[in-house]
């Protein structure tokens, strides 16, 4: 994870050029005194899915459906802007990789014969138990 000029490798087939990532910096929120109030250590990275040349049409459609037109990730966990940049890039990579993942289609299964028989036998036992609780002469 080198400098800001290195491309962001999301998956084996998707690499985002550094010039497509837009950075913003600001002060981290919360208490902290002089350093926190003055230093712009909070890092925010924006990735425009629609304008990206690194994505194919299917990948672009999948990202837009799952994440929207613009993906924004921020980090202000650390006191260093460099570490927050790395955290933001890592979070962006994980979010994009998760949204690009294609879920395998679900194949419906049928219960086994033994499972069906166990279920029906349990129903019979429950029905018999309730039938035995009834007062005599009700049939």
* Per-residue pLDDT tens digits for 75-125: 988 888 899 999 999 999 999 999 999 889 999 999 999 999 999 999 999
The chain-wide mean pLDDT, for the chain, equals 89
Average pLDDT for residues 4-32, to the nearest whole number? Answer: 85
CATH number assigned to the domain comprising residue 39: 3.30.160.20
Instruction: Please check whether residue 30 lies inside any domain of the structure.
Output: yes
29 pLDDT more than 80: no
76 occurs within a structural domain: yes
Condensed to tens digits (0 to 9), the pLDDT of residues 33-53 reads: 677 667 888 999 999 999 988
Residue 136 to residues 123, 124, 131, 132, Cα–Cα distance (Å): 22, 20, 10, 9
User: Is 111 within the bounds of a domain?
Assistant: no
Range of 71's domain?
A: 8-100
pLDDT of residue 3: 57
* 41 in any annotated domain: yes
Greater confidence, 104 or 138?
104
Query: Does residue 112 lie within any of the structural domains?
Result: no
Q: How far apart are the first and last CA of the chain?
A: 79
- Indicate the number of domains in the chain: 1
Which residue has better confidence, 67 or 32?
A: 67
79 is a domain residue = yes
């Amino acid at each position: 994870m080198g400098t800001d000029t290195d491309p962001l490798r999301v998956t084996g087939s998707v690499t985002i050029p550094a010039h497509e990532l837009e950075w913003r910096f600001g002060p981290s929120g919360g208490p902290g005194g002089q350093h926190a109030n003055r230093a712009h250590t909070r890092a925010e990275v924006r990735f425009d899915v629609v304008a990206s040349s690194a994505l194919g049409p299917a990948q672009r459609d999948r990202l837009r459906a799952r994440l929207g037109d613009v993906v924004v990730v921020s980090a202000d966990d650390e006191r260093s802007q460099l570490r927050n940049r790395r955290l933001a890039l890592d979070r962006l990579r994980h979010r994009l990789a998760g949204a690009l993942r294609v879920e395998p289609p679900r194949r419906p299964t049928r219960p086994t014969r033994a499972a069906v028989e166990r279920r029906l036998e349990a129903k019979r036992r429950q029905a018999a138990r309730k039938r035995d609780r009834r007062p005599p002469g009700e049939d």
